[in-house]
Amino acid sequence: MQHAKTLIDTRNPAMQIGLTLAAAALIALGAKVQVPFWPVPMTLQTLAVLVIAAGLGPRLGLAAMGAYMAAGIAGLPVFAGSPERGLGLAYLAGPTTGFLIGMALAMVVTGALARGRGMGMQALALIAGTIAIYVPGLIWLSGFVPSDRLLAVGVAPFILGDMVKIVLGTMVLQAGLRLRG
């Protein structure tokens, strides 16, 4: 029997561990996949984060993000732009750490809002998760970018790609629900 609140039955502890590790690997893969896009190339990392959160719920989503962060802090090249932009703690000294923190927050926000809901609420949950990524991301980025350039550097180039990811994520979640039956 499937769990009523998530796409996958997550009551089995072995399944929880497997899903957490698989989801962390999917986040890492998403960070490495660059899609040519305008005005900047986009990765699929936030799409992975949002779909994982909505599909697995806030608890397993946050566990997956924690496993991903632990792998990155340990020096594995899982972060977007690594190893070129540094590894481990050296990477976290850079301008994107706030967005990683936001992804952890998005796991909770998106996961909680999307659970057991229809397509419209899932789309809103993905939007709320995207905002949850931007808020700490911009706060952290403000230490690297002048305030009058913050939105131009930290939001404007990514907003169109994020809108596409929200639509794609909603479609993936709906397809998953149809497959689950």
Pick the CATH number of 13-180 from 2.40.160.60, 3.10.20.30, 1.10.1760.20, 3.20.20.60: 1.10.1760.20
- pLDDT value at position 78? 97
pLDDT for 4 equals 44
End-to-end CA distance of the chain: 11
Q: Which tokens in the block code for residue 171?
A: 């479609």
Contact 170, 122 (CB under 8 A): yes
Q: What is the pLDDT of residue 180?
A: 77
Per-residue pLDDT at 2: 40
The strand pairing partners of 43, in sequence order, are 34
Task: Give the pLDDT confidence score for residue 6 in this predicted structure.
Answer: 58
Whole-number Cα distances in Å, 88 to 17, 30, 79, 140, 143: 23, 18, 9, 18, 20
Q: Residue 114 class from Cβ within 10 Å (0-12 exposed, 13-18 middle, 19+ buried)?
A: buried
The 8-class DSSP code of residue 35 comes to E
pLDDT averaged per 10 residues in sequence order, the chain, 181 residues: 53 91 98 84 94 95 98 96 92 94 98 89 97 98 96 94 96 89 68
Q: Where are the alpha helices (DSSP H) in the chain?
A: 13-32, 45-56, 58-73, 88-92, 97-114, 119-141, 150-154, 159-180
Model pLDDT, residue 115: 84
pLDDT in tens, 123-157: 999 999 999 999 999 999 999 999 999 999 999 99
* Every domain of the chain and the residues it spans: 13-180
Distances (CA, A) of 179 to 18, 31, 174, 175: 20, 26, 9, 6
